[in-house]
Structure 1
Amino acid sequence: MNRRLRTISFGAIPLLLLTGLVTFDHIPGTSVSLTVPYAAEGPGPTFNTLGEYDGKQVVDIQGTELDPTTGNLNMTTVSVRSNMTLMQAMGRWLFNKDTLVPIEQVFPQDQTEEQVTQANQEAFSTSEASATIAAMNYLHLPVSTKVAQTVDGSPAADALQEGDLITAIDGDSKATPAQVVEAVQSKKPGDEITLGVERDGQQLEEKVTLASNPHDDKTAFLGASMEAVPGGGISVDYNLEDVGGPSAGMMFSLAVIDKLSPGELTGGKFVAGTGTVDDEGTVGPIGGITHKIQAARDAGAEVFLAPADNCAEAASEAKGITILKVSTVSDAIDQLTKYNNGEDAATCS
């Protein structure tokens, strides 16, 4: 706070420039208001992925026995405020430690606020799917390939339906989405491929004659988009609303692993973190790391899991909280285990 007040004392020129960027919003029947072309980013709410939200499990797993869990594995968020007056913007910066960023960084000029929100929600859904598959892969549990959509007029449209599970390719039971794509690409247009399919609990065999790819007539084309889902009758659902973006992936994945494996990843502690995750469990960097650490610390977390690529920035918030450096889901579990056992763990400091 004192540092920011000192900054204001020497920051009259930037303040005047910011004032000069004020825009006028006139709402019929009301007085004219002044807004600045900036958004304020600050600590957002945190959610325990091992607990409940609005009466439902944040990570709801059905179809198998679950291992009891304690402690917290909190995902963290960044709050964004826009359409602020000059005084509101300066107040957020002075008294709330928010970061002021050009509004274009949050809402690009070529996109509406609704489009940005939709894109963030889609990224959130993608992160949920990747989190589940990363957890299944870590636990060596089966993964199935579900048909998400077929292209009208394609070979797949005549043989497959949305929701079908592909269980085999030419008699080979290894049928992940990548393996299906690889099998199709290994053939030529006009070749036949045999797909094992589970539909409504029935096992089917579909022989499909591949077409030419619309963009390359020398490449075989099936015409189906696929996604990996848990196998063995397990289902994983995520029950959080009004949250967007891909940065919850790692914490979701850890929650699935904690619920499906013996022991407790948290050691009964309050752990928080952030980071994207892909199907292979690689943890990627995110934005707003300092605000997320602040939110975790304010919520009572003693440990924060941070992507390795965010470590330099995260280190500036390492007061009153231990920040562990992680690069994969496996690494996050290893570092957390070391911390819980009192061993040397990799930290952002």
Structure 2
Amino acid sequence: MALFTEDQMASAHRGTRSGRAGWIVLGIALIVGLILAVAPAPYVIDKPGPVFNTLGTTDALGTTTAGAGTPLISIPGETTYPTKGSLDLLTVSQVGNPEQRPNWLAVAAAWFDPSQAVVPIDQAYPPNVSQKQVDQQNQLAMVNSQQDSIAAALSELGYDYPSTVTVVSLPDKSPAAGLIRPDDQVVSVNGTAVGDIAELRDALKANGAGTTATIGVIRDGAKKTVTVTPVANAGGVVVGINVKMSYQFPFDVQIQLDKVGGPSAGMMFALGIIDKLTPGAIQGGAKVAGTGTIDQTGTVGPIGGIQQKLYAAQGAGAKWFLAPADNCDEVTGHVPDGLTVFKVTTLDDALTALDAIRTGAGTASIPTCPAG
């Protein structure tokens, strides 16, 4: 007696073939998916980086320690005072570069991690700009920010010192090529004195692009004037010179921090210097973190990677965070649990917030970036 009809047997064979084909398609899909997952993606990933206590010391690896090591800030020859707690500066680590991009699997994981950000690689590394050039620019920005932080701190403490706007270099095809040289000190625009970079920018903006400007410089100790026609660039007006502030401080302030670039540590350096030069802990020994650029006048400017820095601060155990006011829109809705974010526009704002933390009263009156 037949257990299956011929139609039933044919149907079973078709089902077997169909099932086998399905598994083959699934296997191919999994292989293709795996290949795509490990393939390089056109992105880099920003994540919380190392945290450095400006009141602490750095070891041979560049990490901050509470014990023996090289002080991150030292002021030889001047009276300094014991400090307590921490004034942490924060960094962002970037995973990937044009030569070694992260894979799609890592990018997908970063999309769902609130402490990380996925950035198009062309945004992080503009075309025709090498990794070496990016590193050099970041290192120069760090060096300049350290000098500006010293200037801001000493100005806050009432010290007087001369300062100049000094030409570092000229970019390719600069309108000032052959007219202005590296190491020239820029002292005026159209007869109006300029004492800092902001005043230089404002004077050039007032002059306008396409209209000749008379630039006063000091070269090798001698005063000279040159005529340059500024051009429009990125919403501003420039003469094609890269400049920095040069200061003649009344004493030496040394900042030792390797392998970190960019200008965003300026405010925290300034606070660390002030703390060392004044009796008592300006934040009462609390663990405070923060970020922000700073200039000679004490103006605090915005920075990149604020969300990653918030999580870095939380991971380091900070309960208080000083953030540039111009970054508040990026902070709101992204504040990790247990962190209060004060909004600061100037160095004085930051000191007021630290004083409120120190005294334990009045923090409710300090402006904050809303948590959500």
TM-score (norm 1): 0.70
Letter in 2 for 1:66: T
Written as runs of structure 1 = structure 2, the 5 A alignment for 1:1-349 is 34-54=39-59, 55-82=69-96, 83-94=101-112, 97-145=115-163, 208=222, 210=224, 212-213=226-227, 227-232=245-250, 234-315=251-332, 316-341=334-359, 342-343=361-362, 344=364, 345-349=366-370
| 2: CA distance, partners of 1:231 / 1:94 | 48
How far apart are 1:97 and its partner, in Å? 4.0
Letter in 2 for 1:50: L
* Corresponding residue number in structure 2 for 1:30: none
The verdict on how the C-alpha distance between 1:34 and 1:64 changes in structure 2, with shifts beyond 3 A counting, is same
Aligned-pair Cα RMSD in Å = 4.1
The verdict on how the C-alpha distance between 1:313 and 1:215 changes in structure 2, with shifts beyond 3 A counting, is closer
Q: Is the 8 A contact 1:302 1:322 kept in 2?
A: yes
| 2: CA distance, partners of 1:101 / 1:156 | 37
How far apart are 1:149 and its partner, in Å? 7.1
SS of the aligned residue for 1:64 comes to coil
1:146-169 residue CA offsets vs partner (Å, 9 max, x unmatched): 796799x99999xxxx8x9xxxxx
Q: Is the 8 A contact 2:284 2:357 kept in 1?
A: no
| 1: CA distance, partners of 2:179 / 2:119 | 46
| 1: CA distance, partners of 2:110 / 2:223 | 61
Letter in 2 for 1:70: K
Query: What residue ranges of structure 2 are gaps of 5+ in the alignment?
Result: 1-32, 60-68, 170-177, 186-193, 201-213, 231-242
The verdict on how the C-alpha distance between 1:177 and 1:313 changes in structure 2, with shifts beyond 3 A counting, is closer
* Corresponding residue number in structure 1 for 2:17: none
| 2: CA distance, partners of 1:273 / 1:194 | 38
* Greater strand content: 1
| 1: CA distance, partners of 2:110 / 2:218 | 61
| 2: CA distance, partners of 1:114 / 1:209 | 36
| 2: CA distance, partners of 1:53 / 1:150 | 29
How far apart are 1:340 and its partner, in Å? 2.7
| 1: CA distance, partners of 2:114 / 2:128 | 30
Letter in 1 for 2:130: T
1:31-69 residue CA offsets vs partner (Å, 9 max, x unmatched): xx6200011111111100011112211112223111211
How far apart are 1:129 and its partner, in Å? 1.1
How far apart are 1:132 and its partner, in Å? 0.8
1:206-264 residue CA offsets vs partner (Å, 9 max, x unmatched): 7x464555669xxxxxxxx88443533x1112211111111111001111111112222
Letter in 1 for 2:53: N
How far apart are 1:90 and its partner, in Å? 2.0
Q: Is the 8 A contact 2:293 2:301 kept in 1?
A: yes
SS of the aligned residue for 2:127 comes to coil
Q: Is the 8 A contact 1:267 1:340 kept in 2?
A: yes
| 1: CA distance, partners of 2:117 / 2:244 | 40
| 1: CA distance, partners of 2:316 / 2:261 | 20
How far apart are 1:144 and its partner, in Å? 3.3
Q: Is the 8 A contact 2:144 2:245 kept in 1?
A: no
1:69-103 residue CA offsets vs partner (Å, 9 max, x unmatched): 11100000111111111112223334574211111
How far apart are 1:301 and its partner, in Å? 0.6
SS of the aligned residue for 1:294 comes to helix
SS of the aligned residue for 2:289 comes to strand
| 2: CA distance, partners of 1:141 / 1:240 | 25
* Corresponding residue number in structure 1 for 2:7: none
The percent identity for this pair of structures is: 37
- Report how many aligned residue pairs link the two structures: 289
Letter in 2 for 1:74: D
Letter in 2 for 1:323: V
Query: What residue ranges of structure 1 are gaps of 5+ in the alignment?
Result: 1-18, 24-32, 165-174, 182-188, 198-205, 217-224
The verdict on how the C-alpha distance between 1:150 and 1:47 changes in structure 2, with shifts beyond 3 A counting, is closer
The verdict on how the C-alpha distance between 1:135 and 1:319 changes in structure 2, with shifts beyond 3 A counting, is same
Q: Is the 8 A contact 2:144 2:244 kept in 1?
A: no
SS of the aligned residue for 1:348 comes to coil
Q: Is the 8 A contact 1:34 1:85 kept in 2?
A: yes
Q: Could you say which structure has the larger radius of gyration?
A: 2
SS of the aligned residue for 2:39 comes to strand
SS of the aligned residue for 1:235 comes to coil
